[in-house]
Copies of this chain bind each other. A is one copy, B any other.
Amino acid sequence: MGAVKTRRMPRAVREQQMLDAAVQIFGRRGYMTASMDEIAELAGVSKPLVYLYLNSKEDLFSACIRREAAALTEAVRAGVRPGLPADRRLWEGLRAFFTHTAHHPDGWAVLHLQARTHGEPFASEIDALRKEIVAFVTLLIAEAARDARRDPDLPEREVAGLGEALVGAAESLADWANATEGVTARQAAATLMNFAWAGLGDLMEGRPWTPPAAEDRQVQGLSS
């Protein structure tokens, strides 16, 4: 065991190794602090090869962002079965989200922490990703409102704000779950689902939102 000095690999493979290393370093050190030397060393290649394949530090960082963003959205998309009611879809999406961020903490750090902090090439890419997610969530909320047949026209800006709030809460909980020993993705998802769907008021009245029993009885939650 242990990486034998593997030389002469096809370009596609090497590129993935470089991206793996870059995501790790960028996620932990930040864009500016990360050095191309470090990344090349961690990837097990020489610096010129990194430049040959990825062109520049900026391009490398962009490639990381795009790869991790694609992986995250794909994970969430794959986790949501269409055809279910809105609350179920949200629940599944959250589970997928927390599972993914738990398994890819460095990638999550790149997207959530690092990419937003640095200048224009990157901020826009993250904005696009975030807008996509907020739009997705917002759609779910609007759909749910339609299902509830009351107040069918939630004001646009309000809904946008709600989407922002929900996504922000999710981001925050992802960090918290990663940092707190013993918090699973399911628990994080359930906490957020309760918070968002039932609201603090209901929660305190003992009326939480209930995760689907079929999958897993009473996962966890605030219920008695």
Instruction: Kindly provide the distance from the CB of A98 to the nearest chain B CB, expressed in whole angstroms.
Output: 11
Does A83 have its Cβ within 8 Å of any Cβ on chain B? no
Q: Which chain B positions have C-beta within 8 A of A171?
A: 168, 172
Contact A118 B192 (CB under 8 A): no
Cross-interface CB contact of A162 among B155, B175, B200, B209, cutoff 8 Å? B200
Does A188 have its Cβ within 8 Å of any Cβ on chain B? yes
Q: How many copies of the polypeptide does the oligomer hold?
A: 4
List CB contacts (< 8 Å) of A1-54 with chain B.
29-33
Contact B206 A151 (CB under 8 A): yes
Q: Which residue of B lies closest to A153 (CB)?
A: B224
List CB contacts (< 8 Å) of A140-183 with chain B.
141, 144-145, 148, 150-151, 154-155, 157-158, 160-162, 164-173, 175-176, 180, 183
Instruction: Kindly provide the distance from the CB of A34 to the nearest chain B CB, expressed in whole angstroms.
Output: 10
Contact B199 A201 (CB under 8 A): yes
User: How many A residues face the partner with a CB closer than 8 A?
Assistant: 59
Q: Which chain B positions have C-beta within 8 A of A30?
A: 32, 117-119
Q: Which chain B positions have C-beta within 8 A of A169?
A: 164-166, 168-169, 172
Q: Which chain B positions have C-beta within 8 A of A145?
A: 203-204
Q: Which chain B positions have C-beta within 8 A of A141?
A: 200, 204
Does A198 have its Cβ within 8 Å of any Cβ on chain B? yes
Instruction: Kindly provide the distance from the CB of A6 to the nearest chain B CB, expressed in whole angstroms.
Output: 23
Cross-interface CB contact of A195 among B31, B196, B205, cutoff 8 Å? B196
